[in-house]
Structure 1
Amino acid sequence: MTTTTDGRLTVFEKCRISPPPNTVGERSLPLTFFDLIWLLAPPLHQIFFYDFPHSKSHFIDEIIPKLKHSLSLTLQHFFPFASNLTVFPAKNNSSGLVRKPEIRYVEGDSVPITFAEECDLDFNYLKGNHPRDCNKFHGLVPVLESPYRVSDDVVKIPVFSIQVTIFENTGITIGLTNHHSLCDARTDYDFLMAWTSIAKHGTVAIGRSLLPFYDRVIEYPDSLDDPWLNLPAVRTMDESYKVPELVPQADRVRSTIVLRRSQINTLKKWVLLQLPTMEYVSSFAIGCGYVWSCIAKSRVHVLGEKGEYDVEGFRCAADWRDRFGVSQMYFGNCVGPSCRATTKTTLITESKEGFLRAVELVSMAIREGVNGKNQDHVFKDAETWLEKMSRQVPTVGVAGTPKSNIYDVDFGWGKPEKYEIISLDFSDLISVNAGKESVGDLEIGLCLPAEQMDAFINISRNELENILSHDF
Structure 2
Amino acid sequence: MGELLNIVEKCQISAPANSVGERSLALTFYDLRWLLYKHPVHQLFLYDFHHSRSHFVETVIPNLKQSLSTTLEHFFLFASNLIVHTNPTSKKPEFRHVEGDSLMLTFAESDNLDFNYLKGDHPRECDKFHPLVPLIEGATKVSDFVKMPVCSIQVTLFPNSGVTIGITNNHALCDARSKYAFLMAWTSIAKYGTIGLLPSYDRVIICPNSLDDMLLKLPQIKTIDNTPELVDLSNKVRATFVLTRANINWLKKWLLVQLPTLEYVSSFVVGCAYVWTCIAKSQVLVEGKNGEYEVERFSCSMDWRSRLDPPVPQTYFGNCVWPTGAQTQTTILTGDRGFPTAVKLLEKAIRESNKGMFEDAEILLEKTFLPIPTIGVAGTPKLNVYNVDFGWGKPKKYEVISLDYYDSVSVNVSKDSPEELEIGLRLPPKQMDAFLTISRNELESILSDSSSDPSPTNVQCP
Question: 1:385: which partner in 2?
Answer: 364
Distance in 2, matches of 1:128 and 1:38, equals 31
Among 210, 215, 219, the alignment partner of 1:228 is 215
Among 357, 363, 374, the alignment partner of 2:341 is 357
Change (3 A) 1:307 1:19: farther
> The residue matched to 1:468 in structure 2 has which SS?
helix
Distance in 2, matches of 1:243 and 1:117, equals 24
Distance in 2, matches of 1:393 and 1:141, equals 30
Q: Is the 8 A contact 2:381 2:421 kept in 1?
A: yes
> The residue matched to 1:384 in structure 2 has which SS?
helix
Code of the residue aligned with 1:8 in structure 2: it is L
Code of the residue aligned with 2:319 in structure 1: it is N
| Offset of residue 6 of structure 1 | 4.9
Provide Cα deviations, 1:117-142, integer angstroms capped at 9, x if missing partner.
11111101100011000010000000
Code of the residue aligned with 1:16 in structure 2: it is Q
> The residue matched to 2:36 in structure 1 has which SS?
coil
Provide Cα deviations, 1:267-321, integer angstroms capped at 9, x if missing partner.
0010011110101111001000000000000000011142797111011111100
Percent sequence identity over aligned pairs: 61
For structure 1, which runs of at least 5 residues remain unmatched after alignment?
91-95
Question: 1:430: which partner in 2?
Answer: 409
Q: Is the 8 A contact 2:35 2:220 kept in 1?
A: no
Change (3 A) 1:108 1:294: same
Is 1:187 the counterpart of 2:184? The answer is no
Provide Cα deviations, 1:360-399, integer angstroms capped at 9, x if missing partner.
11111111123xx2xxx21001111221110112211111
| Offset of residue 426 of structure 1 | 1.5
Provide Cα deviations, 1:314-363, integer angstroms capped at 9, x if missing partner.
111111000121110110000011x1211010111013x21111111111
Provide Cα deviations, 1:39-78, integer angstroms capped at 9, x if missing partner.
1322100100000011011000000000000000000000
Question: 1:206: which partner in 2?
Answer: 195
User: Matches of residues 238-317 of structure 1 in structure 2 within 5 Å?
Assistant: 241-243=225-227, 245-306=229-290, 310-317=294-301
| Offset of residue 18 of structure 1 | 0.3
Change (3 A) 1:242 1:213: closer
Among 308, 313, 328, the alignment partner of 1:327 is 313
Q: Is the 8 A contact 1:84 1:157 kept in 2?
A: yes
User: Matches of residues 42-441 of structure 1 in structure 2 within 5 Å?
Assistant: 42-90=39-87, 98-150=90-142, 152-201=143-192, 203=193, 205-207=194-196, 210-237=197-224, 241-243=225-227, 245-306=229-290, 310-324=294-308, 325-337=311-323, 339-351=324-336, 353-370=337-354, 373=355, 377-441=356-420
Question: 2:460: which partner in 1?
Answer: none
> The residue matched to 2:35 in structure 1 has which SS?
coil
Distance in 1, matches of 2:401 and 2:312, equals 30
Q: Is the 8 A contact 1:89 1:98 kept in 2?
A: no
| Offset of residue 97 of structure 1 | 5.3
Code of the residue aligned with 1:275 in structure 2: it is L
| Offset of residue 148 of structure 1 | 1.4
> The residue matched to 1:342 in structure 2 has which SS?
strand
| Offset of residue 236 of structure 1 | 4.2
Q: Is the 8 A contact 1:300 1:307 kept in 2?
A: no
Provide Cα deviations, 1:429-471, integer angstroms capped at 9, x if missing partner.
1100011111000000010111111100000000001111124
Q: Is the 8 A contact 1:22 1:107 kept in 2?
A: yes
> The residue matched to 2:260 in structure 1 has which SS?
coil
Distance in 2, matches of 1:61 and 1:248, equals 35
Report how many residues are paired.
448
Distance in 1, matches of 2:115 and 2:181, equals 27
Q: Is the 8 A contact 1:340 1:369 kept in 2?
A: no
Q: Is the 8 A contact 1:309 1:394 kept in 2?
A: no
Question: 1:467: which partner in 2?
Answer: 446
Distance in 2, matches of 1:88 and 1:155, equals 6
Q: Is the 8 A contact 1:87 1:97 kept in 2?
A: no
TM-score, with structure 1 as normaliser? 0.93
RMSD: 1.4
> The residue matched to 1:281 in structure 2 has which SS?
coil
More displaced stretch, 356-365 vs 244-253: 244-253
Distance in 2, matches of 1:461 and 1:39, equals 38
Code of the residue aligned with 2:431 in structure 1: it is Q
> The residue matched to 1:73 in structure 2 has which SS?
helix
Change (3 A) 1:299 1:236: closer
Q: Is the 8 A contact 1:29 1:104 kept in 2?
A: yes
Provide Cα deviations, 1:15-34, integer angstroms capped at 9, x if missing partner.
00000001111101100000
Change (3 A) 1:255 1:100: same
Distance in 2, matches of 1:259 and 1:33, equals 35
